[in-house]
Chains A and B, each alone.
Chain A
Amino acid sequence: DAGVIQSPRHEVTEMGQEVTLRCKPISGHNSLFWYRQTMMRGLELLIYFNNNVPIDDSGMPEDRFSAKMPNASFSTLKIQPSEPRDSAVYFCASTVLSRRDTQYFGPGTRLTVL
């Protein structure tokens, strides 16, 4: 039984480039979350979807960040243009609807912006 799948696992890019992170939630889950983790700020919720619809994007740092969920099995987080301060580990998590107390996390994407 596959867990949450994220790709790529590691991404190194230069400042100004577009970055797209991908997530496949656990089959049957209908809530999906994007988080960012840094040493300074810990684990921060960026945005979450219920039934593919964005519910709360108040954690998205600025307009350079956007997230989509075109269907129940796929979501993307895009940063355009990327900046060095975006360097972090980005996690995707999924759960059944409104069970934010039981989230299943993917392995994360470590992003380095030079």
Chain B
Amino acid sequence: TQLLEQSPQFLSIQEGENLTVYCNSSSVFSSLQWYRQEPGEGPVLLVTVVTGGEVKKLKRLTFQFGDARKDSSLHITAAQPGDTGLYLCAGENTGNQFYFGTGTSLTVIP
């Protein structure tokens, strides 16, 4: 059972374009994290959101936690080749179970 579904699974865009990645679940999460993973390396934490409706910004990246704490989105403005990687959401549900999402593989073409 995959509790955290991400979409799209693959995304290829031109440098300078904007994009949004989604992380959805039917479960409520006490917190949700976004990681980025580059080839040959482990995931690196980008942000944690804990409050329903919370919005956090990290330079050109904007993260939002859904009001019901069941979903989240990651928006990248003016994507750059350095943004290329696998984006993973992760979270701990109210049953203290921890899951990673299915992942979105992003390629930004120069």
Contact = CB atoms under 8 A, between A and B. Distances in A.
Interface of A: 4, 35, 42-45, 91, 93, 100-108
Contacts of B44: 105
B41 A108 contact: yes
A42 B100 contact: yes
Interface residues of B, number: 20
Contacts of B85: none
A4 B41 CA distance: 12
Interface string B31-45: 101000000111111
A47 to B, nearest CB: 12
A106 B102 contact: no
Given A42-B103, A43-B103, A93-B42, A102 B48 contact: yes
A35 B88 CA distance: 14
A106 B42 CA distance: 6
A42 B102 contact: yes
